Amino acid sequence: MIIDRLYEEVEKKGNVCVGLDTALEYIPSTILNNYHSIDDILFYFNKRIIDATIDIVPCYKVQIAFYEAHGLNGMLAYKKTLEYIRNKGSVVVADIKRADISSTAKAYARAHFEGDFESDFITLNPYMGFDSITPYLDYVENKNKGLFILLRTSNDGAKDIQYLDINGNGKVYNYIGDKIKDISYKYMGKCGYSSIGAVVGGTHLEESDEIRNRLGKVFFLIPGYGAQGGKGKDVVSYLKNGNGGIVNSSRGIITSYKKYDDGVEKFDSYARDAVLDMKEDISSETKTI
Ligand SMILES: O=c1ccn([C@@H]2O[C@H](COP(=O)(O)O)[C@@H](O)[C@H]2O)c(=O)[nH]1
Catalytic residue list = 97
Domain 2-284: which CATH class?
alpha beta
Single out the residue of 272, 273, 289 nearest to residue 54, CA to CA: 272
Q: Ligand 1: which of 57, 162, 228 to mutate, most ligand atoms within 8 Å of CB?
A: 228
Ligand 1: which atom is nearest the Cα of residue 248? 13
Tell me what percent of the residues of the chain surpass a pLDDT of 70: 99
Q: Are strands 196-200 and 91-98 parallel, antiparallel or unpaired?
A: unpaired
- Nearest alpha carbon, ligand 1 atom 3: 153
Task: Please report, for the chain, the start and end positions of each structural domain, with discontinuous segments joined by +.
Answer: 2-284
ipTM of the complex: 0.99
Per-residue pLDDT at 286: 81
**Residues with Cβ within 6 A of ligand 1?**
19, 21, 63, 95, 153-154, 199, 201, 223-224, 226-228, 248-252
Ligand 1 center–CA 289 separation, angstroms:
28
Q: Where are the alpha helices (DSSP H) in the chain?
A: 2-13, 29-34, 38-53, 65-68, 71-87, 102-113, 137-142, 158-161, 172-184, 208-214, 232-235, 251-254, 267-285
| Dist CA 110 CA 126 (whole Å) | 18
Scored b (16 or more CB within 10 A) or e, 149-158 reads bbbbbbeeeb
Q: What is the pLDDT of residues 170-229, one digit of tens each?
A: 999 999 999 999 999 999 999 999 999 999 999 988 899 999 999 999 999 999 999 999
Ligand 1 center–CA 95 separation, angstroms:
9
Helix (H, G, I), strand (E, B) or coil at 246: strand
